Structure 1
Amino acid sequence: MDIRVIIKIHELLKANRAGNTNDISLKLGISVRSVYNYITFMKTELNAPITYNHQGKNYCYERECELNFRG
C-alpha cells in the first residue's frame, strides 16, 4: 500500500469528490482493482467509515473521519 494514494483517496472522500471506482481510478492513475484494494484496506485496517452511496453512485464517509499518519 502506498500511503500517498491512501491520503489522496482520503482527501477525495473528505471533499465528497471521490465518485465511483472508475472515477477514482482515473483521478489517481491507478487500476480499478487497486482502488478496490485501497478502499478495502482503509476500511479493514484503518477503520475508515467508507460506504458506497448507491443513489449518488459514489464513495463517501459515513461520518466525519480523520486519518493521522504523523508519528
Structure 2
Amino acid sequence: MDPTKKEYLANGGDHFIVCAADQMELALDEFVDEYGEAPDVYLLAEVMQELPDWRVPETCQYSEQKPVYILI
C-alpha cells in the first residue's frame, strides 16, 4: 500500500469507497466523479493487515454485501 494512503487512513481520512467485487465499476465511476481523479485500488484484506487498528466498514457502500475492495 502506498505509504501516503496508509497514513491518510490511519489518521482518519474519509475520502474512500469500499465495495463488493460486483460493484467495482460503480465505485470507480463514483470516485472519479466525486474526487476528479482515478483511485488507488486495494484489497481490504491487505489493508487490514497493514492497518490492524483501522476500523473497516462492514458493508459495501452500494449493497449489504461484505466489501472486498477499497478505493482511495
> For the superposition of Structure 1 and Structure 2, which TM-score range results when normalised by the shorter chain?
0.3 to 0.5
TM-score with structure 2 setting the length: 0.36
Higher relative contact order (CA 8 A, sep 6+): 2
Give the alignment's TM-score, normalised by structure 1: 0.36
